[in-house]
Structure 1
């Protein structure tokens, strides 16, 4: 299925399940939808809408622009197509930041925000050094793997799979989980990744952002994997700012908590959907 944005870019989208709509926002930036398991787990609780962000995955290749405002407008085009009035949103990692930005811009169009494995609204310096240390420690479990990862260029499939393997607490199954993320391999949009990552960092830790979150009259569920290599304390700033936030931390799960604790993830969503 195709959704066309207001500037004519064609976005890949798909809907499955039954019930009220739940639009998913994948991580990255520059990646593609990897939510097959989420759609399967939640399909009896909601009509799950998946889409690839502009210039990524199965969506039309384009020259951007790579800005949060542009992606918020694209998300609104997807929302209008599947939910003319309001929708629940679920964002993961970078997609959690996007879903939050959309909710702050259009609170009347969002019934519920599910913020999964994001990094909060405080400065990046509060969590990124620990993340980098944890990433290198995970990859360094095998010195040859770490050396190979360091020599591969940005956007390389092998390098991405090696890095993604660090995202899982179950070290025995981590390579299998990472390989599944790359199947099919749709290519990383490295320009999109670099520009949106830089813009997102500049927009954090501002008085305006804290004030907007404090004024948000939309229920928010924050879902974390306890063993995410990004310190979960990064999300504390967002939780404190939001007036209508609940938080679920899934023990033994990493950055993709629905993979390592599907039952806990489903239970957390079942409590708020519908």
Structure 2
């Protein structure tokens, strides 16, 4: 993979890697505040030029704790700095939620979204209770993250879920959205079902018998799932 550093509008250097050739795809990992665990050749869908940015505040990128608005602004600054007209956006977990926010805020920049095992824009108590109850039975993956960036973005995500125009902005989003649920995820998938009904150009599919982090446990199925979802649009 090639490595690059771009300095965005406020002077912060952001690190990213790139691989492949073809239509441009922005790939976002989960967290928030995690290092980019998807940034490997084996997880990049073939026939695409894939960009993997390290979030602000997560080394080797510069900066520190920030909110979702700044995170979206960073993605848009990268697109402009790279000279790209638009790109598809793939996100896993938190990355799927950020991809959706990016599409809502900048629909002209996003050709489609593929959100894999996202949470959805909600802070429902019963969802959280189900997740906490199942978490003990989930095999975790050790991924480095910045705790301050995690906390800041988590708080900002909550603010977004409470915005009075959230549901209207989603209902009016013109970007095609592929929502992918992991069949054995301990996180309930009902918010994705709601999104699939609300978003005007959305589809929900479920990959059976895989956990939340199936990029790690079943990488071939992860890549095939992403490639198939992208293939419907780019």
TM-score by length of 1: 0.77
Structure 1 193/124 Cα, relative in aligned 2: closer, same or farther at 3 Å?
farther
Asked if structure 2 preserves the Cα contact closer than 8 Å seen for 1:131 and 1:230, the reply is yes
Asked if structure 2 preserves the Cα contact closer than 8 Å seen for 1:124 and 1:201, the reply is no
Between the aligned partners of 1:201 and 1:126, the Cα distance in structure 2 is 16
RMSD: 1.9
- Deviation (angstroms), 1:262: 3.4
Aligned to 1:80: 80
Asked if structure 2 preserves the Cα contact closer than 8 Å seen for 1:219 and 1:245, the reply is yes
Equivalent of residue 7 in structure 1, options 10, 23, 26: 10
Between the aligned partners of 2:73 and 2:50, the Cα distance in structure 1 is 20
Deviations 1:210-261 (A, max 9, x none): 1111111111111121111211123222222111111221111111233333
Aligned to 1:253: 210
Q: 2:161 aligns to what SS in structure 1?
A: coil
Correspondence 1:81-160 to 2 at 5 A: 81-82=81-82, 84-136=84-136, 138=137
Asked if structure 2 preserves the Cα contact closer than 8 Å seen for 1:18 and 1:46, the reply is yes
Aligned to 1:267: 224
1:229 is aligned to 2:180: no
The structure whose Rg is larger is: 1
TM-score by length of 2: 0.89
| Runs of 5+ consecutive residues of structure 1 not aligned to the other structure | 139-164, 168-177
Aligned to 1:142: none
Aligned to 1:158: none
Instruction: Provide runs of 4+ in structure 1 moved above 6 Å.
Output: none
| Runs of 5+ consecutive residues of structure 2 not aligned to the other structure | none
Asked if structure 2 preserves the Cα contact closer than 8 Å seen for 1:33 and 1:57, the reply is no
Aligned to 1:17: 20
Deviations 1:186-217 (A, max 9, x none): x5211111121122123215551111111111
